[in-house]
Amino acid sequence: MIKKIALAAAIIGIVLYSINGSRPDSGAYAAQMRKARGEKNRSFRESAQSPLSEAQKAQFDSLKYYPADLALVVEATVSRNAAPDTTLLQMSDNRAEKYLRWGQAKFRIGTQAQQLALYLKADGKDSTLFIPFTDATNGRETYGGGRYLDAALPEPDATEIKLDFNQAYNPYCAYNNDYSCPVPPAENRLDVPIAAGEKSFHE
């Protein structure tokens, strides 16, 4: 039976700084990222919830990442949908799951304007926004099926949301074909490279 994807936040849900805080010191931020990534590696090796098979665990050393880059911690303008529509996100096993199209985030990568749709699981059990996306690194340096990003729900009067692409992570399908994972929708296909976060698991 196809296993359901576990919440990545259970593994990498480490708060590196407050949403309302100032931009962190680069050295301290890099150290925090190394710690978070080390904890994720340990979870992949040891946890019963790891997406890796026992055979994979026996050979696993560490996941691959881009170096932490504060330039890819972006402050995006956020807009909410007054009445979020229920939409179906295609899954990798050709099923579909219900999500709420919660809103949009607009930001810049370099000089180029970008936009990503923000989703929330329709069952009401998630406390973070889900942002599946693809970018120009997919299939070369990063997983060909795209990556995911989570973001805290903004306060009701907030006009900005912090998107930390250093925390972009692979779906469980990148490690094990037994999982069923949401496929990033067409509206979240970025045409720029996002050289941050997790790289491809396989060479």
**How many structural domains compose the chain?**
1
- Whether 63 maps to a domain, the answer reads yes
In a domain, 130, yes or no: yes
Q: Is the pLDDT of residue 125 over 50?
A: yes
Task: Report whether pLDDT(20) > 50.
Answer: no
The per-residue pLDDT for 124 is 78
Q: What is the pLDDT of residues 37-91, one digit of tens each?
A: 999 999 999 999 999 999 999 999 999 999 999 999 999 999 999 888 999 999 9
Does residue 201 fall inside a structural domain?
no
Q: Is residue 150 part of a domain?
A: yes
Answer yes or no: is 194 within a domain: no
pLDDT value at position 24? 60
Angle, vertex CA 176, rays to CA 42 and CA 72, nearest 5: 60
pLDDT reported for residue 126: 81
Record the pTM.
0.87
At 4 the pLDDT is: 40
pLDDT surpasses 70 at 135: yes
In tens, the pLDDT along 153-174 reads 999 899 999 999 999 999 999 9
How does the average pLDDT of the chain come out, rounded?
A: 88
In a domain, 203, yes or no: no
Question: Is residue 197 situated within a structural domain?
Answer: no
Confidence label for 16 from pLDDT (cuts 50, 70 and 90): very low
How much is the pLDDT for 26? 85
Is residue 196 in some structural domain? no
Q: What is the three-state SS of 77-134?
A: EEEEEEEEEEEEEEECCCCEEEEEEEEEEEEEECCEEEEEEEEEECCCCCCEEEEEEE
Domain extent, residue 105, equals 3-188
**DSSP line for 12-38:** H----S-TTSPPPPHHHHHHHHHHHHH
Cα–Cα distance measured from residue 95 to residue 188, given in angstroms and rounded to the nearest whole number: 19
